[in-house]
Structure 1
Amino acid sequence: MSQIVTVHSYRGGTGKSSTAANLALLLASAGRRVALVDTDIHTPALHVLFPGAPAHRSLTDYLIGRCEIEDAAAPADTGQGHDGFFLVPARTRTGAGNELMGRGYDVGLLREGFDRLIDTLALDVLLLDTHAGFNNETVTAMAGADSLIVLTRADRLDLAGAQETVSLARRLGCGRLSLAVNMVPDGTLPDRLRTDLETAYDAPLTAVLPYAPQMAALAGERLLTTAYPHHPLVAGYRRIIGAISRGTTGLRR
C-alpha cells in the first residue's frame, strides 16, 4: 500500500531538504519505489542535491498547465543505479516561481498531482519536501500526509512554532507525527530539552540526529548516505524510516 510522507520544519536552516533526500535514497536502496517531490517553489533545493536528474519539467510547470505531473518526474541520478526512484523538482527555470505567483494556480492540482504520481509510477512512497513555515504548498503537503516528519534543531528558538505546527497538523487530520532533532552537537540531547520538545510537539522523539561536519564538507555534491553509509547520522535516518514503517508514533489525542 502506498504512503505519503511529508517532511516539514517551522523554521529554515534545520537540514530539512538534505534529510528528505537521504530518507528517499535509503527507501530506494531498500527496494521501495519512491518519488521525491520538492514542493518548496520559493527556495527549492533538491535539484541541487540530485544534479544529474534530467529535469526538463517541474512541479511549477505542472501547476501552470505546461505539462502533466508525470512528465515532471525524472529518474533520480544517485550514481548507484536505483530503479524506481524519481525526482520532481520544484522548478527548472529562472523566474518560474514569480510566474506562478503572478498567474496563480488551482491548489487542488497539488493533491491531484500527488495521487497521479502514486498511480502512474506505482509508488510505495511519495516523499514531499516542504517550504519552512506554512504556505499553500506546505499545507497541502501536510494535509495529505500519512506520516508527517517534523524536523527541528536542538535550539529553544525552534520551539516557538511547535504549538502552531501541532495545532495545524490536527486541524488538517495529518497521519502519524514523527519528531526528529537535527544538528545536535555531541549527538546527545539533555533530558530537560528532550522533555521540553516532546511536550511542545505533543509527540515522542523519534530520532536525535548528530551534527555531521562531513555533511558540510560534501557541500551538496554527494549525499551523506552514499558517502558515509555507516555514519551515526545515517543510523538516525534509518530510525525515522523504522518509525514510519511501524506506525508507532502519532499525535496524541
Structure 2
Amino acid sequence: MAHILAIHSFRGGTGKSNLTANLAAAFALKGKRVAVIDTDLASPGIHVLFGFTPAAGQFTLNDHLQADASIEQCAHDVTPRSVQQAHGQIWLVPAAMDGDRIARLLREGYEVEKLNDALFTLSEKLKLDLVLIDTHPGINEETLLSTAIADCLLMVMRPDSQDYLGTAVAIEVAQRLDVPAIRMVVNKLPELFDPQQVRERVASSYGVPIGALLPLSDDLLTLASGGLAVLMHPDHPWSEQVRGLASHLLETVL
C-alpha cells in the first residue's frame, strides 16, 4: 500500500504546488513510483510544472468524480527522462482546466468519499510507493477528508503574520483528525530573515517538526512554473533543500 502525503497551505501563493511537483521528482529520482493528484479543483495548475495539458479524449480527475472514467484512466505518465534513468516513475492525475467544467463541479459538487476511494484504487492498480495530494488551500470538506487519510501532512507557509495565524488553525484541525505525522515547510524565505529565528518561532508556535526552510530565489522566479527546479537546477540551494526534505520524509514518516 502506498504512503499518502498531503501537501497543504492555509492560503494560496505559498508555492505549495511547485513544492509538490518537485517533491514528486525528488522521490522518483530515488527510484520510487509516485502519483500526484491535483485536488485543487477550483484552481488547478500543477500540470503546467510537468509540461502536461490533457488532449482531446484524455481524462482528468473531474471525469472520475462526475462521470464514469476509472481513476487509472485519469492518470498520465509524465516521467521525465532523467527520472526514467533513475528507475523512478511519476503519474499525474490532473484536474480539468476548462472554465465550464470547473463551474459545473463547483455548482453540482461530487461525492468526496469517491475521491478518497480513488487514492487507494490508484495505489493498487499502479503499484505505487507514494501518492502526493496537492490540496486546495484553506479548510473545506475535501481537504479535511484527504488530510484524515494521509500518513503525513506537509504544511507549507510563508514567513508572514497572515500565514502564521492561518497555519495555526489548519494544524489544530489536522491534530484533531489524528494525522499520524505533520511537518512544516517555510517557503519563500527572504535572505534578510534569520533562518534560526524563523525555525525557533515556527517550532514554538506550532510544536510541529520543521521539514525544511526553503529560500526565496530570483533564479527560481525566472523559471516561472515552466519546469521542475530539482531537475533543471539540481545544484541550486532550493533544490538541495527539497531533495533533503524528500530524504527526511522517507526516513522518518513515509
* Structure 2 residue matching 1:132: 3-state secondary structure: coil
Matched with 1:42 is: 42
Counterpart residue type for residue 12 of structure 1: G
Kept in 2: contact 1:187–1:208 (CA 8 A):
no
**Cα deviation, residue 173, structure 1:** 1.8
**Cα deviation, residue 137, structure 1:** 2.2
* Structure 2 residue matching 1:220: 3-state secondary structure: coil
Of the three residues 98, 101, 125, the one matched with 1:96 is: 101
Which moved further from structure 2: 187-196 or 147-156? Answer: 187-196
**Cα deviation, residue 81, structure 1:** 5.7
Matched with 2:69 is: 67
Indicate how the Cα distance of structure 1 residues 75 and 248 shifts in structure 2: closer, same or farther if over 3 A, else same. closer
Of the three residues 198, 203, 215, the one matched with 2:203 is: 198
TM-score where L is the length of structure 2: 0.91
Indicate how the Cα distance of structure 1 residues 220 and 193 shifts in structure 2: closer, same or farther if over 3 A, else same. closer
Any idea what the Cα deviations from partners look like across 1:125-152, whole Å, max 9, x if unmatched?
0001111111222222211110111111
Of the three residues 234, 241, 245, the one matched with 2:246 is: 241
**Cα deviation, residue 166, structure 1:** 1.6
**Equivalents in 2 of 1:189, 1:8: separation in Å?**
24
Indicate how the Cα distance of structure 1 residues 32 and 155 shifts in structure 2: closer, same or farther if over 3 A, else same. same
Matched with 1:189 is: 194
Kept in 2: contact 1:154–1:189 (CA 8 A):
no
* Structure 1 residue matching 2:82: 3-state secondary structure: coil
Kindly indicate whether structure 1 or structure 2 has the higher relative contact order, using CA contacts under 8 Å at least 6 residues apart: 2
* Structure 2 residue matching 1:95: 3-state secondary structure: helix
Question: Does structure 1 residue 128 correspond to structure 2 residue 133?
Answer: yes
Which moved further from structure 2: 96-105 or 52-61? Answer: 52-61
Kept in 1: contact 2:7–2:156 (CA 8 A):
yes
Of the three residues 230, 234, 239, the one matched with 1:225 is: 230
**Equivalents in 2 of 1:148, 1:189: separation in Å?**
25
Aligned residue pairs total 249
Of the three residues 214, 223, 229, the one matched with 2:219 is: 214
Matched with 1:167 is: 172
**Equivalents in 1 of 2:192, 2:222: separation in Å?**
18
Kept in 2: contact 1:52–1:77 (CA 8 A):
no
Question: Does structure 1 residue 10 correspond to structure 2 residue 15?
Answer: no
**Equivalents in 2 of 1:85, 1:150: separation in Å?**
22
Matched with 1:28 is: 28
* Structure 1 residue matching 2:99: 3-state secondary structure: coil
Gaps of 5+ in 1: none
Which moved further from structure 2: 10-19 or 129-138? Answer: 129-138
Counterpart residue type for residue 135 of structure 2: T
**Equivalents in 1 of 2:39, 2:149: separation in Å?**
13
Gaps of 5+ in 2: none
Counterpart residue type for residue 48 of structure 1: V
Q: Percent same amino acid among aligned pairs?
A: 34
**Equivalents in 1 of 2:97, 2:165: separation in Å?**
33
Any idea what the Cα deviations from partners look like across 1:147-196, whole Å, max 9, x if unmatched?
11111112222111132112110122212111111111228635443222
**Equivalents in 2 of 1:66, 1:74: separation in Å?**
17
* Structure 2 residue matching 1:80: 3-state secondary structure: helix
TM-score where L is the length of structure 1: 0.91
> Which segments of structure 1 move beyond 4 Å, counting only runs of 4 or more?
none
